[in-house]
Amino acid sequence: MSVVLSALFALLTAVANATGTVLQRIAARRVPPGDAFSVRLVRHLLRSPAWLGGIAVIVGAAACQALALTLGSLSLVQPILVTELPFTLLIAAAVSRRPLPAAGWVASVMVAAGLGLALAAAAPSGGGSEASAGMWVVTLLASGGAMAACVLAALPRARGKARAALFSSASAIGYALTATLMKAATGTFEREGAGAFFACWQTYAFVAAGACALFLLANAMESGPLVASQPALTLGEALVSLALGIMVYGERVRGGWWLVPEAVGAVMVTWGVVVLPRADTEGTEGTERTEGTA
């Protein structure tokens, strides 16, 4: 039962994150180009009702994610968040009043079917919510170093797909690290109560990591189109989270011949995630025009 509830809360997290993404993109695309990756970017966003609404929704998503991670493994919860992409494009299409093309529907079904196949075959299990101090040092250094490398590669580039994809990749690593830290914090809450939750360093670390990932995502959205930023974010977060779940918490997935359906499911998800933003590029642009004339 806990696995079912964990999956349900993960799905609710994906829907809420998708809503927040649409609202944040509306706000980010109205930021002047010269204000990217600066305090001025934050000032612009704080004056935007769309961005503030997106933040409110994402706070709700974080609560759902915390519940999902309390009830289930990182390897189960984080891959389900791949469905955020189809939900994002469906919500964007509804806001812009432009129907999702047939290719978009096909890709959405492919993502859902591939994810279901991969998770059923992998059957994530085991693991806990505690890790050694040494493992946390390695995790933080590796994640922080990878994020810094992506940002340093993005900064010299002009606005466009490459810059957006690099910022989005950095954001994906940040969100995966946030989930990893959040699982430790919620595990502390479950075992020892609220006092221990607010006393443990992982609580403040996941808030900081999440804020950093959110800032990087805003830059990704400002830098280029959804077709460049969203696949890197969606696939990157799922893959890094899976790796961190196995490395930090000792979670397990099935091997042997189960690797065949797992690989088929992963290919289906990847195909859908790559195709979906291309199928709805016009719809996303329509969303921005709608906001601009409101």
Place of tokens 């101090």: 133
Cα separation, 12 vs 2, in Å, equals: 15
Tens of pLDDT, residue by residue over 131-170, are 899 999 999 999 999 999 999 999 999 888 899 999 999 9
The answer to whether 244 and 180 have CB atoms below 8 angstroms apart is: yes
**Residue 23 pLDDT > 90:** no
- Is 32 or 141 the better-scoring residue by pLDDT? 141
Per-residue pLDDT, 145 = 96
**Residue 175 pLDDT > 90:** yes
The answer to whether 119 and 173 have CB atoms below 8 angstroms apart is: no
Tens of pLDDT, residue by residue over 232-277, are 888 899 899 999 999 999 888 888 899 999 999 999 999 988 887 7
The answer to whether 44 and 31 have CB atoms below 8 angstroms apart is: yes
**pTM for the model:** 0.80
Domain boundaries, the chain: 2-292
Cα separation, 14 vs 78, in Å, equals: 10
> Which DSSP symbol is given to 37?
T
Ranges 104-113, 122-131, 145-154, most confident: 145-154
**Residue 199 pLDDT > 90:** yes
The answer to whether 169 and 150 have CB atoms below 8 angstroms apart is: yes
Angle between the N-to-C axes of helices 259-279 and 84-96, in degrees from 0 to 180, rounded to the nearest 10: 20
Per-residue pLDDT, 125 = 77
Per-residue pLDDT, 230 = 79
Cα separation, 81 vs 21, in Å, equals: 13
Tens of pLDDT, residue by residue over 48-81, are 787 788 888 988 998 999 999 988 888 889 899 8
Per-residue pLDDT, 293 = 36
- Name the burial class of residue 6, with classes exposed (0-12), middle (13-18) and buried (19+) by CB atoms within 10 angstroms of its CB: buried
Rounded mean pLDDT of the chain? 84
pLDDT band for position 39 (50/70/90)? low
- Name the burial class of residue 158, with classes exposed (0-12), middle (13-18) and buried (19+) by CB atoms within 10 angstroms of its CB: exposed
**Residue 192 pLDDT > 60:** yes
Cα separation, 294 vs 263, in Å, equals: 45
